[in-house]
Amino acid sequence: MDEWVPGEVCADGGVGDPVEFARLMGFEADEHQATVLRSKAKQGILNCTRQWGKSTTAAAKAICVMVSKPGCLVVVASPSKKQSAELVRRAEGMVAKLGMRVRRDGVFDVSMVLPNGSRMVGLPGREATVRGLSRASLVLIDEASRVSDAMYRALRPMLALEQGSIWLMSTPWATTGFFYEAWAHGGEAWERVSVKATECARFSQEWLEGERKDWSAEEFQREYMGQFQQDERSAFDAEVVDEAMDDGVPPLEFGIPEFRKERLRWR
């Protein structure tokens, strides 16, 4: 397609270049955002500075999937229903610029259905309330560092039947939880995108220096420089524990001594 027309897709049903398609929706992606939009990874992690635009990038990526695959399901999860609703709201604004009308699905309070039947559903942050959805083509977990492991485990099976994709997006937090584990130990199964505030042209150097003075060193590194911080409840640093582990050493077995077994038998 040489010229992009609002609401139009390519002959094969796709949206062509997602970055160009996002431009039609009013979103001018930077270099890192373009990487996320164009990625075809089944599992992706976005570890980014605050105010970088991860929710907007995720909304644009979701719309590209929904337009390309009629009747598909995109699931949005976050620590709260309000946060999920914010991402869906951004997606609605983008779709409006494509000249498409959307409606609710009649089931979920936070939802959006395109004219081609593709549906986006925003979920609350409680594991017990999200089970039941299936055949998701895309799962987006916003503020993933603050989402519980139980919630993450409840979401992953939704991808099984469609062999869908999942993206975790967040500013980092502690060196615990699924977001950290996937980032630090997930291996080649995950595509990783890291964006520091110093790599974002929308932040002025003067403003960042002011923030550096106002925040503690740990807070600044976490909120703006993409560095996970040690959980204050942990007795040992996570990196120290990882370095101390040796897969070649068999684990110790703490059995019950024979004389204790005799005493237990007679009680």
Angle at alpha carbon of residue 43, lines to 202 and 95, rounded to 5°: 55
Determine, yes or no, domain membership for 7: no
How, if at all, do strands 165-170 and 43-48 pair?
parallel
Determine, yes or no, domain membership for 159: yes
pLDDT score recorded for residue 6: 42
Please compute the mean of the pLDDT values over residues 37-48 and round it to a whole number. 96
pLDDT score recorded for residue 14: 56
pTM of this prediction exceeds 0.85: no
Q: Is the pLDDT reported for residue 143 higher than 90?
A: yes
Determine, yes or no, domain membership for 5: no
Determine, yes or no, domain membership for 12: no
Q: How confident is the model at residue 50 (pLDDT cuts 50, 70, 90)?
A: confident
pLDDT score recorded for residue 267: 44
Determine, yes or no, domain membership for 116: yes
Determine, yes or no, domain membership for 65: yes
- Domain with residue 38: its CATH number is 3.40.50.300
Give the CA distances from residue 160 to residues 66, 184, 236, 265, in Å, rounded to whole numbers and listed in that order: 18, 24, 36, 49
pLDDT score recorded for residue 261: 44
Q: How confident is the model at residue 265 (pLDDT cuts 50, 70, 90)?
A: very low
Residue pLDDT, tens place only, 216-237: 999 988 988 889 987 654 444 4
**More confident site: 154 or 230:** 154
Q: Which of 2-11, 100-109, 203-212 has the lowest mean pLDDT?
A: 2-11
Residue that the structure tokens 């709260």 belong to = 80
pLDDT score recorded for residue 236: 42
Q: What percent of the chain has pLDDT over 70?
A: 80
3-class SS of residue 233: coil
Please compute the mean of the pLDDT values over residues 249-260 and round it to a whole number. 50
- Give, for 240, the enclosing helix (H) or strand (E): helix 238-244
Determine, yes or no, domain membership for 203: yes
pLDDT score recorded for residue 241: 40
3-class SS of residue 119: strand
pLDDT score recorded for residue 137: 97
Please compute the mean of the pLDDT values over residues 72-87 and round it to a whole number. 96
Angle at alpha carbon of residue 240, lines to 49 and 178, rounded to 5°: 45
Determine, yes or no, domain membership for 221: yes
Instruction: State which residues form the domain around 193.
Output: 18-261
Mean model confidence pLDDT for the chain: 84
Indicate the number of domains in the chain. Answer: 1
Q: Is the pLDDT reported for residue 97 higher than 80?
A: yes
